[in-house]
């Protein structure tokens, strides 16, 4: 249960949990359990170590692990900010991020020792520590932590300080570093207390399942939700259907956040037929489109309450929800929506001039809420374009509000593709395609995919007398970009469709694939 008096900083939440529920399990990971008292003691040790080195920015490259959360909260107790990296990126992409937003310390998981060798060569002054195990080349996290005293460390952070840095690709492929404060993380939970909405309200015996990547707000944000409620979190390295089903069946998980692609894999796995889902009280889903037939199937299989969550990294996650009462066949219109604003959040729709549009008219979705980011780190120009002086954050999504306040997503203003919960920006992929010797022009679009929601597809024209081997180009692309960004297929056409002014008409390229479908985004 949330302690309102302790909701100023992540460090304060941890200290309160250690005092109020010292022997309760905080995290369970691969057979290892950490109580809230043990967790807070380790947070102190991390803070001592960071104080000794004066480190204020700490990064992590790796899959989910229980110790990551100790580093996160310990970094904030020392007055710093924690920056988890997307482990699906290529080493060259990670190096670019670390150069642009340099941390003092980088922790890495055991799966990324080879990538770290490349990082160490490119950034020789960066302190690097192994999260688990070591071949002797790297000091381990546990050795680094346990060399420190256990005595309490005074919280060096405040409510408005940045606690978390999450990276989201820009339209040109240059990452943007989203600064998220303690207030961004915690105030929405306080705002929801009077109504005890199912999204934020957890009972003492609830158990959360942490499977989404920690570099995504849906991963680390869901752990925060479990943590502030002093509930146990079951942590797995990465999502896998068998692991999810085992956690439900054996660990009696009650609260889950998933992207639609993951949910589909779980409910359609043969093992699901023999799993007892009675412990699951709430499934929260978002980050990608949810086809209505899949949602209806999931409700039938799991039989619990479903909550759709709409948000983005810049809003620290959820700013609109579609509650369980709207997940009924007779509410089919509402089931196509993203829901209504959460407590304490305002949503509006603006025209290109920045003025509100009439109810039912499509425009750019804007959000004003305590969860809105502080801004983009070291990027005041882009921050100013996204965060207006009056507090409204421009989402880049197009949509409308109906008379009852339900938000309907119409399309993406910025052509972003969401594939399996990962953001893919066409300009970055197009830039890589343009470098291929056979390609003259390239356009990248999102097309419907039953598994991932959307798949990346390239449409290209060729240089004179050139031919294209699709398999060769796709393999060539995988050396340059993360696998989830690479096209799944390539279409060759003679001429790109353009308007009178010469602007490429991507809607014409998408149209054949989306015929008879409604392109949506969560």
State the pLDDT confidence band at 412, using cuts at 50, 70 and 90. low
Domain range 1-179, CATH architecture: 3-Layer(aba) Sandwich (3.40)
Between CA 293 and CA 335, with CA 411 as vertex, the angle to 5 degrees is 35
State the pLDDT confidence band at 172, using cuts at 50, 70 and 90. very low
The pLDDT score that the predictor gives to residue 284 is 93
Q: What percent of the chain has pLDDT over 70?
A: 94
**Domain locations in the chain?**
1-179, 417-514
Distance, in Å, from the CA atom of 143 to the CA atom of 210, rounded to the nearest integer, reads 26
pLDDT digits (tens, 9 = 90+) for 24-56: 999 999 999 999 999 999 999 999 999 999 999
What is the arithmetic mean of pLDDT over 146-169?
94
CA 415 to chain CA centroid, nearest Å: 19
The pLDDT score that the predictor gives to residue 88 is 86
Domains 1-179 and 417-514 share a fold: no
Average pLDDT of the chain, as a whole number: 90
Q: Copy the structure tokens of residue 150.
A: 């256990």
Look at 104-113, 185-194, 270-279, 470-479 and tell me which has the smallest mean pLDDT. 185-194
The pLDDT score that the predictor gives to residue 503 is 61
What is the arithmetic mean of pLDDT over 295-304?
90
Distance, in Å, from the CA atom of 261 to the CA atom of 491, rounded to the nearest integer, reads 25
State the pLDDT confidence band at 200, using cuts at 50, 70 and 90. low
What is the arithmetic mean of pLDDT over 398-411?
88
Residue 142, pLDDT above cutoff 50: yes
Q: Copy the structure tokens of residue 388.
A: 């207006």
Q: Looking at per-residue confidence, does 154 or 410 come out higher?
A: 154
pLDDT digits (tens, 9 = 90+) for 417-433: 888 888 787 878 887 89
The closest of 345, 336, 312 to 400, measured between CA atoms, is 336
Q: Looking at per-residue confidence, does 101 or 173 come out higher?
A: 101
State the pLDDT confidence band at 171, using cuts at 50, 70 and 90. very low
CB 343 within 8 A of CB 192: yes
Distance, in Å, from the CA atom of 57 to the CA atom of 79, rounded to the nearest integer, reads 9
Residue 297, pLDDT above cutoff 60: yes
Residue 4, pLDDT above cutoff 70: yes
Distance, in Å, from the CA atom of 34 to the CA atom of 499, rounded to the nearest integer, reads 60
The closest of 50, 47, 18, 49 to 34, measured between CA atoms, is 18
Residue 76, pLDDT above cutoff 50: yes
The pLDDT score that the predictor gives to residue 428 is 80
Residue 246, pLDDT above cutoff 90: yes
Residue 110, pLDDT above cutoff 80: yes
What is the arithmetic mean of pLDDT over 82-94?
92
What is the arithmetic mean of pLDDT over 73-92?
94
Distance, in Å, from the CA atom of 244 to the CA atom of 433, rounded to the nearest integer, reads 37
Distance, in Å, from the CA atom of 207 to the CA atom of 376, rounded to the nearest integer, reads 33
Q: Copy the structure tokens of residue 461.
A: 């024209």
Q: Is 492 exposed, middle or buried (0-12, 13-18, 19+ CB in 10 A)?
A: middle
The pLDDT score that the predictor gives to residue 43 is 98
Q: Where do we find the tokens 């820009």?
A: 170
Q: Looking at per-residue confidence, does 294 or 449 come out higher?
A: 449
CATH superfamily of 417-514: ANL, C-terminal domain (3.30.300.30)
State the pLDDT confidence band at 352, using cuts at 50, 70 and 90. confident
The pLDDT score that the predictor gives to residue 501 is 44
CB 39 within 8 A of CB 46: no
Distance, in Å, from the CA atom of 355 to the CA atom of 513, rounded to the nearest integer, reads 33
State the pLDDT confidence band at 522, using cuts at 50, 70 and 90. very low
The pLDDT score that the predictor gives to residue 275 is 93
State the pLDDT confidence band at 286, using cuts at 50, 70 and 90. confident
Residue 196, pLDDT above cutoff 70: no
State the pLDDT confidence band at 472, using cuts at 50, 70 and 90. very high
Residue 500, pLDDT above cutoff 60: no
What is the arithmetic mean of pLDDT over 328-354?
87
Distance, in Å, from the CA atom of 407 to the CA atom of 334, rounded to the nearest integer, reads 9
Q: Where do we find the tokens 């939440």?
A: 13
Q: What percent of the chain has pLDDT over 90?
A: 66
387: which DSSP letter? B
State the pLDDT confidence band at 164, using cuts at 50, 70 and 90. very high
Which residues partner with 235 through β-bridges?
29, 210
The closest of 162, 255, 164 to 215, measured between CA atoms, is 164
């Amino acid at each position: 249960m949330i302690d309102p008096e302790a909701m100023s900083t992540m460090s304060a939440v941890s200290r309160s949990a250690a005092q109020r529920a010292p022997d309760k399990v905080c995290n369970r990971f691969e057979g290892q359990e950490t109580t809230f008292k043990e967790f807070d003691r380790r947070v102190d040790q991390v803070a001592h170590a960071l104080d000794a080195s004066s480190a204020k920015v700490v990064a992590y490259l790796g899959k989910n692990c229980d110790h990551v959360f100790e580093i996160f909260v310990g970094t904030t107790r020392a007055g710093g900010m924690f920056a988890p990296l997307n482990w699906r990126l290529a080493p060259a992409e990670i190096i670019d991020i670390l150069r642009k937003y340099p941390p003092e310390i980088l922790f890495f998981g055991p799966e990324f020792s080879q990538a770290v060798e490349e990082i160490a060569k490119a950034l020789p002054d960066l302190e690097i520590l192994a999260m688990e195990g070591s071949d002797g080349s790297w000091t381990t996290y546990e050795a680094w932590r346990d060399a420190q005293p256990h005595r309490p460390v005074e919280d060096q952070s405040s409510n408005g300080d940045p606690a978390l840095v999450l990276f989201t690709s820009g339209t040109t492929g240059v990452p943007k570093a989203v600064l998220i404060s303690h207030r961004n993380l915690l105030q929405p939970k306080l705002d929801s207390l009077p109504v005890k909405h199912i999204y934020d309200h957890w009972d003492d015996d609830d158990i959360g399942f942490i499977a989404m990547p920690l570099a995504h707000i849906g991963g680390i944000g869901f752990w925060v939700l479990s943590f502030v409620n002093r509930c146990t979190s079951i942590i797995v390295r990465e999502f896998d259907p068998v692991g999810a089903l085992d956690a439900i069946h054996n660990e009696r998980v009650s609260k889950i956040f998933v992207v639609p692609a993951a949910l589909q894999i779980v409910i359609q796995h043969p093992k699901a037929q023999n799993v007892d889902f009675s412990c699951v009280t709430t499934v929260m889903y978002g980050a990608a489109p949810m086809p209505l037939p899949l949602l209806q199937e999931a409700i039938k299989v799991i039989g619990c309450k479903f909550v759709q969550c709409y948000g983005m990294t810049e809003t620290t996650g959820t700013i609109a929800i579609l509650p369980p009462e709207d997940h009924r066949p007779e509410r089919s219109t509402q089931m196509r929506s993203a829901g209504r604003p959460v407590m304490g959040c305002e949503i509006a729709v603006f025209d290109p001039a920045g003025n509100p549009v009439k109810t039912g008219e499509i425009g750019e979705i804007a959000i004003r809420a305590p969860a809105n980011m502080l801004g983009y780190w070291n990027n005041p120009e882009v921050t100013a374009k996204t965060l207006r002086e009056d507090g409204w954050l421009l989402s880049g999504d197009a949509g409308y509000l109906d008379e009852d306040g339900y938000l309907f997503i119409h399309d993406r203003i910025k052509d972003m593709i969401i594939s399996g919960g990962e953001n893919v920006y066409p300009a970055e992929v197009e830039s890589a395609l343009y470098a291929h010797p056979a390609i003259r022009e390239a356009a990248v679009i999102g097309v419907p995919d039953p598994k991932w929601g959307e798949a990346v597809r390239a449409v290209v024209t060729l240089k004179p007398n050139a031919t294209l081997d699709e398999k060769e180009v796709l393999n060539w692309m995988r050396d340059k970009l993360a696998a989830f960004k690479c096209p799944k297929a390539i279409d060759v056409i003679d001429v790109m469709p353009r308007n009178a002014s010469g602007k490429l008409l991507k809607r014409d390229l998408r149209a054949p694939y989306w015929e008879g479908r409604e392109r949506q985004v969560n």
